[in-house]
Amino acid sequence: MLVAAFFFNLGFYMLIPFLAGYLKQDLLLSATLVGVVLGVRSFCQQGLFLIGGLLADLFGTKTLIMMGCVLRAIGFVLFLFADIIPLLFFAAFLTGFAGALFTPAAQAYFAKQEILSRAQMFSLVAVARNGGELLGPVCGLMLLNVNFAALCLVSAIPFVIFAIIFAFLLPASQQRKTQPDAQAKMSPSKSIISTVFSNREFLLFCAVMTGYFMLINQISFAIPIHITSQDGEPKDVAWVLTLCALVSICLQFFITRLCERWLHPNQWISIGIALMGLAFVTLIPDWPYNYGVLYYLPLSMLAIVFTLGTMISFPFIMSQISELANNHAVATHFGFFYLFAGIGLVVGSSAIGAAFDYSNQDNHLAWYSLTTIGLFTAVINSILLPSNRSAEEQHSANPLISSVRKNS
């Protein structure tokens, strides 16, 4: 599954970053149509995560992961016929819907493993995905120099291969746990939805984490806008993205294991989100360097501090979701959580876009806003979701530690 996570992101970032350019420049589609197509892909993924999680809990994570792999492969291949507008929209739908199917199922699978702590497991997932995200555009650019057809076909191959591998090697999901009597009278789907919506602490956690998702996309949204407005070059954007990926790949697992030795996971979530917000403070001073190595100093500081924040917070956020689900309808909990991710991404991009539009009022309005979002989310998370679980409860929630204790 970790190898698959790497190759899935590799295939995705081979194609998707170059899709808009191909549709606009090669097929001469309007910018509006291209935007709608990409919006359909994003909406079908973010908007249908809850459906994907519910189906995974009903029919098993293995089934949904395999279905998602097959549908994404078909969607990528259908981009070969992007000059036929209905097929273009169908390809965008399948590509997004496939992600909605296998992402919550995969997260639930990782959460249920008994090899590492959940936080350590999700830190390895982050490493695998960042590796694919780093190499994907490089491979995609080389394939694009051959032709777009080669790019579509090669990007689909990992999903086909792993669909076959999963059919033979991925363990089948365990049966859903018996629901309480009040829920047993409901249909399975209503019972699962009821389980999620009655989990008040989880719903509160989702709402608070909207602030996290308002920040997470700003490296690829706010920073390119800032660099462009400062007469920077695309290589400067690439530098920031590459540095973020390299730092995460090299240090993610080490940072997670180090954090697990002290404090409660929820405290680390607050610390990580605060660091993500404070990272943008590095762009508030008027740095005097417009060229040379020192020009990259504030951008590098931003990339390192922001990535440190995500490395600290992300594994514990994913772990907290499965903890709050309490082994009931885990995939649906992940699917519901990703709905708030979509809300946070849209609100964050819109708000910071508006901050740039009003930069004539204050050049640093966007950075003040992002810093405030980070600190406010961290404080609210600490107040509304206090670290009230004891260390003993944390250890008992770790399947590996529990197993060792039983055997001893």
CATH code where residue 222 lies: 1.20.1250.20
Residue 46 above 80 pLDDT?
Answer: no
Q: Are 383 and 267 in contact (CB under 8 A)?
A: no
Question: Does residue 304 sit in the same domain as residue 216?
Answer: yes
> Can you give the pTM of this predicted structure?
0.79
Residue 100: CB atoms within 10 Å: 26
Report the candidate in 402, 307, 406 with the shortest Cα–Cα distance to residue 117.
402
pLDDT tens-digit profile of 341-398?
878 877 887 888 888 888 777 778 889 999 999 999 999 999 887 654 433 444 444 4
**Structural domain includes residue 183:** no
Question: Does residue 303 sit in the same domain as residue 369?
Answer: yes
**Structural domain includes residue 335:** yes
Report the candidate in 196, 170, 69 with the shortest Cα–Cα distance to residue 113.
170
Question: Does residue 36 sit in the same domain as residue 165?
Answer: yes
Question: Does residue 139 sit in the same domain as residue 261?
Answer: no
3-state secondary structure of 113: coil
Question: Does residue 267 sit in the same domain as residue 168?
Answer: no
**Structural domain includes residue 182:** no
Among left, alpha and beta (phi > 0; psi -120 to 50; other), residue 172 is beta
Question: Does residue 122 sit in the same domain as residue 248?
Answer: no
Question: Does residue 167 sit in the same domain as residue 229?
Answer: no
Ranked by mean pLDDT, the top range of 67-76, 117-126, 248-257, 330-339 is 67-76
**How far is residue 212 CA from its own chain's centroid?**
11
DSSP label at residue 317: H
Give pLDDT, residue 158: 94
Mean pLDDT, range 257-274, rounded to an integer:
90
Residue 401 above 50 pLDDT?
Answer: no
Question: Does residue 299 sit in the same domain as residue 201?
Answer: yes
**Structural domain includes residue 181:** no
Angle at CA of residue 385, ends 381 and 387, nearest 5°: 110
What residues make up the domain containing 96?
Answer: 2-172
Report the candidate in 165, 132, 196 with the shortest Cα–Cα distance to residue 66.
165
Question: Does residue 224 sit in the same domain as residue 370?
Answer: yes
Task: Give Cβ neighbours of residue 123 (< 8 Å, ≥ 6 apart).
Answer: 252, 253, 255, 256, 257, 311, 314, 315
**Structural domain includes residue 95:** yes
DSSP 209-245: THHHHHHHTHHHHHHHHHHHHTT--HHHHHHHHHHHH
Average model confidence (pLDDT) for the chain? 83
The domain boundary, picked from 119, 138, 172, lies at 172
Confidence bin at 235 (pLDDT 50/70/90): confident
**Structural domain includes residue 316:** yes
pLDDT tens-digit profile of 167-191?
998 887 654 444 444 454 556 778 8
Least confident span in 35-44, 78-87, 241-250, 309-318: 35-44
**Structural domain includes residue 189:** no
Number of domains composing the chain: 2
Question: Does residue 204 sit in the same domain as residue 103?
Answer: no
Report the candidate in 73, 81, 58 with the shortest Cα–Cα distance to residue 4.
73
Q: Are 373 and 215 in contact (CB under 8 A)?
A: yes
Residue 284 sits at φ, ψ, to 5 deg, of -75, -45
Can you tell me the distance from the alpha carbon of 70 to that of 230, in angstroms, rounded to the nearest whole number?
43
**Structural domain includes residue 180:** no
Mean pLDDT, range 138-150, rounded to an integer:
89
pLDDT tens-digit profile of 311-320?
999 999 989 9
Question: Does residue 277 sit in the same domain as residue 378?
Answer: yes
Give pLDDT, residue 292: 59
Question: Does residue 106 sit in the same domain as residue 211?
Answer: no
Give pLDDT, residue 187: 66
Mean pLDDT, range 317-335, rounded to an integer:
87
| H or E stretch covering 153 | helix 148-169
How far from 294 is each of 83, 298, 301, CA to CA, in Å?
46, 8, 11
